[in-house]
Amino acid sequence: MKKPIIGVLPLVDNEKESYWMLPGYMKGIQDAGGIPVMLPLSTDKEVLSALANTFDGFLFTGGQDLNPELYGEKVEDVCGEQCEERDTMERILFQHVLDLDKPALGICRGLQLFNVLLGGTLYQDMPSQRKTDYHVQHKQEPPYTKPVHSVYIEKGNPLYNIIQSESMMVNSYHHQGIKRLSEKLLPVATAEDGLVEAVVMPDKKFVLAVQWHPEFSYHVDEFSFRIFQEFVGICKGGLTDNQ
């Protein structure tokens, strides 16, 4: 059976003026039966339209903070490094993905991107802006394969249907998070402190995003690998006859 070809959004090193990739994004897709291809960084609308029509699915990776102007706020000192070119590329590409109903998986920044582009907002820096009585470690030290907190998954929701569990332990490395959830997204996992940790877009074939990092843990955590398997399986189901 032919394997789906999945576009992986590039990681960008502003200082070195380079594009790069974590192997876990690629190997997670490969081990689940797909063919990953790192996309070029481009804001050319014609190029992005062609990419959207070419690939069977898209993985929106982690990386820099989103520019707060995308959700109507000024950049504060606590906000981290941004990449305007990547923000623009992903905004245009994501809309194409939605219009074509192509499968999309978001990881860390990917979850925040989906929420912002669909009308939600973010904490620019959770440690300084978000007050809670619960202490949850959202930014861990290496090794990143080690789970540091739990998330809760309501029985019967789309993520539960994938992993078949009402809770799982996750790794975590982020200082931003969802503040106001988009009305177009359904929360499917929350941390003990109430932070939304996973979302789906219920009216699409497959738009799922998680705040944790299955690209680091999929080879030691069955639940994280099931996310890759489900994503690749949906992408495979969309293969056309001429592929």
Alpha helices of 74-120 — where are they, by DSSP H?
84-100, 109-117
Buried/exposed code over 179-207 (b: 16+ C-beta within 10 A; e: otherwise): bebbebbbbbbbbebebbbbbbbeeeebb
The catalytically annotated residue of 83, 215, 230, 235 is: 215
Q: Which amino acid appears at position 230 of this protein?
A: E
| Residue 186 near residue 215 (C-beta atoms within 8 A) | no
The catalytically annotated residue of 138, 149, 174, 213 is: 213
C-alpha count within 13 angstroms, C-beta hemisphere, residue 102: 26
Alpha carbon distance 201, 208 (integer Å): 7
The catalytically annotated residue of 79, 83, 108, 235 is: 108
| Residue 59 near residue 105 (C-beta atoms within 8 A) | yes
Does a cis peptide bond (omega within 30 degrees of 0) precede residue 143? yes
Task: For residue 24, give the H/E element and its range.
Answer: helix 23-31
| Residue 190 near residue 231 (C-beta atoms within 8 A) | no
Annotated catalytic residue 108: yes
Catalytic residues: 108, 213, 215
